[in-house]
Chains A and B, each alone.
Chain A
Amino acid sequence: MFRNTKTSFKIGGLVGIIILFLGITVMFGVFQMSKVSNEIIEISEQYTPLYEIVSDIRFQKSNQEVSLEKIIRFAETGNMRELEKTKESFWLSGRTIDSNIERGKNIVNVGMDIAISGKSGEEFDMLYQKLSNIDRIYNQYENLVGELFFELDNDLLLDQIQITENQLEIELDSTLASLSILADESTSQIEDNERDSLTGQIVIITIVGAIAATLGFFISQINSDLKKEVDLKTIELKTANEKLKELDKMKDEFIGIASHELKSPIQPILGFAELAKSGDIDQKEAWDGVLELANKLQDLANAVLDVTRIENNRLELQIEKIPINDIILEITKSQKISLKKPIIIRENLDENIVVEVDRVRIGQVFRNLLNNAIKFTPKGTITIDTHVYPDENKIQVRVLDTGLGIPKEVLPRIFEKFVTKGLKHEEQSGTGLGLFLCKGIIEAHGGKISAQNNFDGGATFEFTIPVVNKEQIQSPPELSTN
């Protein structure tokens, strides 16, 4: 599950980074372009009207020159009516020139506000200077002409007017020349700027492309990792599914066998009742038989319940502190009393150490192993030995017999359910679940149980459990699928 989140994080992170990069570069590009080109375009837009204005000033100016000549001529010929008319037109042109100069100055002011870079600012300063010059010279010119209109034959004034006209002409020409140069420059600047921004865009797109390709490569690798992961998980799921199916099948089998086992004492119980009723066997025999069968039924029912608890990891242990030898000796003592075979039970016990166990459950395991040893030993010795390993926090308990041993075909599966059912000498008394329960109980204690045949005959069962139960709570016994 850890690997899953890691991979999705990787992909999510990479996609996020790609989007971030793309966003940043596009934003940057757009901002840069708009900033630079807007300035240049707006500035260049100021030059054209300026040029037109100055041209118009010059045009009006030449009109005035013509008017002035006409006025002088009309004065000489005494055509006063035409003279006044021409004067009017002269002043009309003058107003146009004044307003043109005013407009020109306004445009230049706007240009100064727009201009961000120092160079454009200087250019507009220069233009403003020129317009001021034109304004100043033209005012001079108008004043002189005004004076002239009172004494039209003043040659000195005419000379001065001529000089002022020339100055104005020069100033206008130079302004127009500057403007046309500036307009050309700004056009080429716009072209440069467009070329620059195009180059910039190409560079940005290339870089972003390279980044995207790199990230794409990583993503494709992550993707293939992910695919492998999915494949792996699919296989794991398949295996788990098969395991579950197998477990389910085993459970069905267990239910089938268990219910059959629970049913099987019914026939002999009915038989006893029938025979006792008809007087074919005596009452005591019948009751003994029924009692035994009822006990067997109870054992079986308990065992089935325990199996269910163990398989569902719900075996609850009542852990208490108790000397291990006390549990063992109590059981061997009662077994010795009821022993009906020529068997010697020998205890060979280590230190009577206090262990933390469920005394009933551990007693159940030990009793089961001892009963099995007695059951499969017609005659001989059964040895109980214990060994304490203080350093390893564990105690080993062994039950060795000199009996028949475990059949080879059964040994590997001896701790499974119903495997021992029907063994020779197993006879009536077994449920076929005892050793399965032993394993479950020992594993719930955090211990191990094993069985083997002795070289010189008989079998040995041994279990090892922790002396101090660190977990207190049982560790679940692993589901035996083999």
Chain B
Amino acid sequence: MNVLVAEDNLFTIQQYKRILEKNGCKVTVAYDGEECIQKFNEAFLTLNPDSLELGPFDVVLIDNNMPKKSGAEAAKEILERCPKQRIIFASAYNISSILNAPGVLKESVEILQKPFSLNTMIAKIQTR
């Protein structure tokens, strides 16, 4: 699986990377909202024109509370480009308030409420 992870906590992102790679995923990391969009766009350019809608990654895991651009803003931009891109939202915040904010997030994203077990995360990413 090809996974994009956006998370500003260095420890957390290392842990994600380690467990995902152990489970055979190819991991791209971003440390803030802007970098997340940038990495996504880079991958988007290499896409096969047939699968543009699905997006370049199998899963994009986004933390909401990030510098420069929030997870919600990044997710919105990604969904505008690739409406069927699978996105998992990870946050310690009250997620429903983020999802109820104006936009198209509600239907399109899955949720992981922090703190969560890394195994739960793997399980969530692998179910489909």
Contacts and interface: CB of A to CB of B under 8 A. Distances in A.
Contact of A271 (B11, B66, B68): B11
A268 B12 CA distance: 5
Interface residues of A, number: 21
The bracket for how many chain B residues form the interface is 20 to 34
A260 B115 contact: no
B35 to A, nearest CB: 11
A480 interface: no
B68 A260 contact: no
A91 B110 CA distance: 145
B8 A260 contact: no
| Interface SS of B by simple majority | loop
B65 interface: yes
Contacts, number: 55
A19 interface: no
Contacts of A423: 67
Contact of A275 (B18, B66, B92, B116): B18
Interface string B19-51: 100100000000010000000000000000000
B114 interface: yes
> Chain A interface mostly helix, strand, loop or mixed?
helix
Contacts of A289: 11
A266 B39 CA distance: 27
Given A281-B18, A428-B10, A274 B118 contact: yes
Given A266-B115, A275-B118, A422-B32, A427 B10 contact: yes
A275 B118 CA distance: 8
Contacts of B126: none
B83 to A, nearest CB: 29
Contacts of A139: none
Contacts of B22: 280
A250 B32 CA distance: 25
8 contacts: A263-B114, A268-B15, A274-B117, A275-B18, A275-B19, A293-B11, A422-B67, A427-B10
